[in-house]
Amino acid sequence: MEQLGHGFYWNDMTIGRRWKTIGRSIFEADVVTFIAVTGMQEMLFNNLEYIEHESATGKRIAPGALIFSIAEGLVMQSTLQGTGIAFLGMDFDIKGPVVVGDTIHVEIEVVEQRAASKGNRGLVRTRNEVKNQRGEAVLVYSPLRLMKGRD
């Protein structure tokens, strides 16, 4: 019987394949919890007077590390459930701010795919473009992952 929600195997991830994740809004609680847990006590994130009068947006900005983490959660739900083995590295570029109230999704394209040197595994690199509700790219990263192969 087919199991829904299972991730792709490396053999399924052909170069040029594209898809996008569901969207997720960024809430005040996300930013507050993230900066508390990580210790990122930057005025851009935790000082409402500074945010209102000094920041470029006038709104509470979400740390790029938070947006990357949420994006990875969205990718895992759509792509890697049960098939991802290891995150090996990435290129990472923040393109613009994400503020509380924005909704993001990830557009994914396979840019590299090959069998690993041993076992039924493969290496897959994707280009992951995180976009806001206006379709603006706010973060782009290209992870290289080790993934299970189809039996």
The region of weakest confidence among 16-20, 31-35, 147-151 is 147-151
Tell me, rounded to whole angstroms, the distance of Cα 54 from its chain centroid. 29
Nearest-angstrom CA–CA distance, 76 and 38: 22
Other C-beta atoms closer than 10 Å to the C-beta of 109 total 16
pLDDT of residue 143: 98
User: Do 101 and 25 contact (CB within 8 A), yes or no?
Assistant: yes
Return the CATH superfamily for domain 10-148: Hotdog Thioesterase (3.10.129.10)
Q: What is the pTM of this model?
A: 0.92
What pLDDT was estimated at residue 1? 60
- Note the pLDDT of residue 53: 94
Q: How far is residue 91's CA from residue 99's CA, in Å, rounded to a whole number? A: 23
Nearest by Cα to 34 from 62, 72, 75, 76: 62
